[in-house]
Amino acid sequence: MGDSYEERVARIYDALNHKEPDVVPSLACMGTFTIGFNNCTVEQVENDWQLSVENFLNTQKDLYADAVYTAGVVFDSKFAKAIGSPAHFVSADKETIQHHQQIPMAADEYDKLIADPEGFMMNVLLPRTAKRLSGAYPEKKKAILEFMSHLNDKLAEWTTIGQRLKEEYNRPIMAPVVNAYPPLDFIFDYFRGFEGTAVDMRRQPEKLVEACEAVLPFMWKNMGIPDDATRVPEFPPFATMFHIPTFLSPKQFEKFFLPTYQKMVDRIYECGGKMIMFLEGTWDNKAEWLNSLPKDFAFGICEADDIFKMKKLVGDNICIVGGMPLDKLKYGTVQENVDYAKYLVDELAPGGGYIFSSSRELLTKTDVNWENYKAAYKTVHEYGKK
C-alpha cells in the first residue's frame, strides 16, 4: 500500500477495524496554530480566507501525516462580531481565539424552551447574546448580511483546503464538520453555562432532561441524516467534540447526557456510518459506555487520559488516537521525541486500533518545537511499517 488518498483512508480504517495496517497511521490536529506558525494575526486571516488557506497548507509541506483533523480554524471571532456577540474573541497574543461563556437563559425559563425550542432560541435567547439582532430592522439586516458573507468565505476556505489537501498532499480530513452535537453540550455551551447547568442538575433535573429531549430535533437537523435515509458514507466519520462529559460523574452522564446523545449515535450506526469523538478531559470513568459502542465504530481522540491505560480499558472496542505529549514536543530534544514515538508504536500499535497524534490540538506556535513535531511524525511513518 502506498500513500494515495484512497490508500490513506484505507489505512486509517484498517486501524479502526483493529487490523494491523501497512503503516501506523498518523493524524495532525491543528487549530489556530496555523496562524502563528505563519506569523499572521487572527484579524488578517478572518479578512482574507485565501491567506488562511495558504497558512494551513504551509504547515503540510514538509510534514508527514496520513490525515488532518479539521480544515483549519472552525470558530472565529468575526462570526461573533457580525451579530454583536461576545461569544468568541481574539486573545491578547492576536494569534488565538477564546470562547466567552454566556448565560442568556434564566433558570426559570425551561418551560419556554421545552414548549417551543427553535422559537425560544431564535426569538428570545439569540437577541440576548447577539446585540445587533435585537435592534431595529436595518441593523438586523446588516448584521445578518455580514454574518452570511463571512460564512460564505469560510465555506470557500474549508472547501478549498479540502480540495487542495486531497489534490496536492493526498491527505483526507477526518472531521470536516462537527455534525453530531450532543443536546446537553448545546445547552451547556450556549444557554446555561457551567454553573447554571451544574445547579440545574441538582435543583431541576427533570426539566433539564426534558429540555435535552426538546432540542434533540434541532440537533438532529444539524447532524444531516434525512429521516428516510438508510445508508450514509463510512467516510468521513461523524464528529463530536465533547465539552461537559469530563465534568460529569458516571451517574450524571447516564441520566443527563446519554438519553439523547445515544439516539444520535444509534442512528449513525444504523445507517452504516462511523464516528470520531474528541474525548476532552478525562474519560477513564466512562470506559463502560465506550465499550458499549459497537465494535470498530468509533475513533476516540484521547486528550488528558493516560493513553496506555485507555488502550487497555477500551482499545479492543474503539480506535485510540493520540499519545504524543505536547510538553515533550515543546521541550524535548529531537532524539527524545523520536524515541518516544517509537515507544508509542511498540506499545499501542500491535493488533491495530491505534492512530498516532499529539495529545492535544495545536493552538499556538509555541505549543511545539516544529522540528520535534516533524521528526515524531516521520518516525512513526518509517518505524511503524509492518
**CATH at 322:** 3.20.20.210
Between CA 137 and CA 293 the distance in angstroms is: 48
CB atoms within 10 A of CB 126: 16
Q: What is the pLDDT of residue 251?
A: 97
Angle CA(240)–CA(49)–CA(171) in degrees, nearest 5?
Answer: 55
362 within a domain of the structure (yes/no): yes
* Residue numbers in the chain where pLDDT is lower than 70: 1-2, 178
88-90 and 97-99 beta bridge pairing: antiparallel
What is the value of pTM for the model shown? 0.95
3-state secondary structure 249-267: CHHHHHHHHHHHHHHHHHH
Contacts for 130 with CB less than 8 Å, ≥ 6 apart: 83, 84, 85, 143
123 within a domain of the structure (yes/no): no
Split into its structural domains, the chain has a count of: 1
Q: What is the pLDDT of residue 254?
A: 98
Q: Which domain holds residue 337?
A: 5-73+170-383
100 within a domain of the structure (yes/no): no
Q: What is the pLDDT of residue 286?
A: 97
Q: What is the pLDDT of residue 177?
A: 77
Catalogue the E-assigned strands of 23-94: 27-28, 67-68, 88-90
Q: What is the pLDDT of residue 1?
A: 55
137 within a domain of the structure (yes/no): no
280 within a domain of the structure (yes/no): yes
CB atoms within 10 A of CB 181: 20
Tell me the Ramachandran region of residue 84: left when phi exceeds 0, alpha when psi lies from -120 to 50, beta otherwise: left
Cell of 150: 463571512
Between CA 132 and CA 378 the distance in angstroms is: 49
298 within a domain of the structure (yes/no): yes
112 within a domain of the structure (yes/no): no
Catalogue the E-assigned strands of the chain: 27-28, 67-68, 88-90, 97-99, 238-241, 275-279, 298-302, 319-324, 354-358
Between CA 8 and CA 59 the distance in angstroms is: 19
Q: What is the pLDDT of residue 164?
A: 97
80 within a domain of the structure (yes/no): no
